[in-house]
Structure 1
Amino acid sequence: MNYRHSFHAGNSADVVKHSVLIALVQALQIKQAPLTLIDTHAGCGLYDLGGAEAQRTGEATQGVLRALADPNPLLDEYRAAVQAVNAGPEPKFYPGSPRVLAQLLRPQDVLILNEKHPEDAQVLRAAMRDTPAAVHQRDAYELWLAMVPPRTPRGVVVVDPPYEQQDERARITATLAAAHRKWAHGVTVIWFPLKGRPAHAQWKHKLRGLGIPKFLSVEHWLYDEDQPGIYNGAGLFIVNPPYAFTQALPPLLDALRAALAPEGHEGEIASQWLGD
């Protein structure tokens, strides 16, 4: 699957990813100790919803626009993150993970961003100019291993690849195994698209084989039955999520499911420990 983010900015996957990411970081920030936030596939940082690429798919209408119109207060933090990069009520821009993470920074926290593609890296630097983020242009998996453990006592690595390469999942699995050996207590978030259940089940089986004790899977299936050959949803693997986050997650997920369910479908979104 080729998932170039400029075509999909603000879609349902972004709403789930960024809502969950905000909740995760805020749960970690209950403690005052500094956090290092590392985004290995940062992209452009900020996306024009009126641009040709976003308009070509129109996916924001079934994602961010629905979340903004939904009255559920559990989505308030997400809506605030989107509104922070927009001047009016109608969103013209969508914040990628770098801008979302930058909004969450406390004075003691550190933000490290990486984007390998030269053009996107240049756009990212411009988008993050008003933030304290450090921007790198390196291979994502090399940077992931090089940056852990971070200098601060705690940290989060966000892995959000476009899945352009055939071996993307294999590289994620291998790098996660190596990173966990270096930094067993670190928090890692891995985003993934969902096309079909059998292929995804195979990857989960391989990840279970890594023997990581606290390994949470969040899956958002848009349709009541899988639609063959198309995008069916997305999700997140989360290593070492904090207790406060896991306790607050079920009602947030239900709010997201209700807000994003396509017409005629209830959809399905749930979390499960991979050891279960």
Structure 2
Amino acid sequence: MNYRHSFHAGNSADVVKHSLLIALVRALQQKPGALTLIDTHAGCGLYDLGGDEARRTGESTQGVLRALADPNPLLDDYRAAVRAVNIGAEPHLYPGSPRVLAQLLRPQDVLILNEKHPEDAYTLRGVMRGTSAAVHERDAYELWLAMVPPRMPRGMVVVDPPYEQTDERARITATLAAAHRKWAHGVTVIWYPLKDRATHGRWKEQLRKLGIPKFLTIEHWLYDGDQPGIYNGAGLYIVNPPYAFTQALPPLLEALRTVLAPEGHSGEVITDWLGD
């Protein structure tokens, strides 16, 4: 499945992903110790919602625009992150994970970004100019293993690939297993698109067999029944989610399900622990 982000910026998957990333970082920051935040597939960092690629799909109308219009205070932090990169009431730009994470940094925190695609890496460096982020241009899975454990004991790795390669899931599974052996207490977040339940179910069972404790999966299904051959939603695998995050999760997920449900559908959010 090809998921080139410029076509999908600000869609429902972004709303869920970035809302949960913000909540995760906020929960980790309840302790004063420094955090190292690593984004292995950083992309361009900032996306034009009025550009040809975004307008071709129009997915932001069912994602960020709905979230901005919704009054639920549980989405305030997400809305603030989007508004921080825009001027005026109408959003023209959408912040990718690098810009969202950069907004959350405390003076003691470190942000490490990686983007292998040369043109996107060049754009990313320009977008992140003026922040403290370090930008790398390496293979994502090589960097993931090389950067853990970070020098600071606490941190989070965000893995958000486009799933263009047929072996993407296999590489994630193998790298996660190796990274967990090196950094068992680190927080890891893996984003994935949901196209059909059978494919996702097989991958989930492969990950379950890794035997990683404290392994949470969150699935956001847009439709009441699978829509064959199309994008049906997205989810996150989270290793070692902090207690404060999991405690606050149910009402946040309900708020997201409600605001993002397509017309005629109620949507569904499923959470499941893959480990003990």
TM-score under structure 2 length normalisation: 0.99
Match of 2:132 in 1: 132
Match of 1:224 in 2: 224
Match of 1:57 in 2: 57
3-state SS, counterpart of residue 131 of structure 2: coil
Total equivalences in the alignment? 276
Match of 2:87 in 1: 87
Structure 1 residue 272 displacement after superposition: 1.3
Moved runs in structure 1, 4+ residues, more than 6 A?
A: none
User: Contact 1:117/1:137 (CA < 8 Å) preserved in 2?
Assistant: yes
**Counterpart amino acid of 1:189?**
V
Tell me whether 1:110 sits opposite 2:105 in the alignment: no
Q: Distance in 2 between matches of 1:273 and 1:170?
A: 20
3-state SS, counterpart of residue 272 of structure 2: strand
Deviations 1:88-141 (A, max 9, x none): 110000000000000000000000000000000000000000210000000000
Q: Distance in 2 between matches of 1:193 and 1:134?
A: 27
Structure 1 residue 274 displacement after superposition: 1.2
Tell me whether 1:167 sits opposite 2:140 in the alignment: no
Q: Distance in 2 between matches of 1:271 and 1:112?
A: 29
User: Contact 1:223/1:261 (CA < 8 Å) preserved in 2?
Assistant: yes
Q: Distance in 1 between matches of 2:108 and 2:275?
A: 34
Q: How does 1:192-207 map to 2 (within 5 A)?
A: 192-207=192-207
Q: Distance in 1 between matches of 2:239 and 2:177?
A: 11
**Counterpart amino acid of 2:204?**
K
3-state SS, counterpart of residue 151 of structure 1: coil
Structure 1 residue 275 displacement after superposition: 3.4
User: Contact 1:110/1:133 (CA < 8 Å) preserved in 2?
Assistant: yes
Q: Report percent identity of matched pairs.
A: 83
3-state SS, counterpart of residue 14 of structure 2: helix
Q: How does 1:191-270 map to 2 (within 5 A)?
A: 191-270=191-270
User: Contact 1:156/1:188 (CA < 8 Å) preserved in 2?
Assistant: yes
Q: Distance in 2 between matches of 1:91 and 1:147?
A: 34
Mark the runs of 5 or more structure 2 residues left unpaired by the alignment: none
Deviations 1:116-167 (A, max 9, x none): 0000000000000021000000000000000000011200000000000000
Deviations 1:142-198 (A, max 9, x none): 000000000112000000000000000000000000000000000000000000001
Q: Distance in 2 between matches of 1:260 and 1:250?
A: 15
Mark the runs of 5 or more structure 1 residues left unpaired by the alignment: none
3-state SS, counterpart of residue 220 of structure 1: strand
**Counterpart amino acid of 1:168?**
E
**Counterpart amino acid of 2:76?**
D
**Counterpart amino acid of 2:65?**
L
Q: Distance in 2 between matches of 1:22 and 1:40?
A: 17
**Counterpart amino acid of 1:220?**
H
Match of 1:34 in 2: 34
User: Contact 1:215/1:275 (CA < 8 Å) preserved in 2?
Assistant: yes
Structure 1 residue 270 displacement after superposition: 2.7
Q: Distance in 1 between matches of 2:192 and 2:226?
A: 16
Q: Distance in 2 between matches of 1:21 and 1:271?
A: 16
Structure 1 residue 271 displacement after superposition: 1.6
Q: Distance in 1 between matches of 2:271 and 2:133?
A: 31
Q: Distance in 2 between matches of 1:168 and 1:218?
A: 19
**Counterpart amino acid of 1:143?**
L
Q: Distance in 2 between matches of 1:275 and 1:115?
A: 30
**Counterpart amino acid of 1:42?**
A
3-state SS, counterpart of residue 135 of structure 1: strand
Structure 1 residue 269 displacement after superposition: 1.0
Q: Distance in 2 between matches of 1:233 and 1:174?
A: 24
Aligned CA-pair RMSD: 0.6
Q: Distance in 1 between matches of 2:123 and 2:56?
A: 20
Q: Distance in 2 between matches of 1:247 and 1:53?
A: 38
Q: Distance in 2 between matches of 1:270 and 1:173?
A: 21
3-state SS, counterpart of residue 199 of structure 1: helix
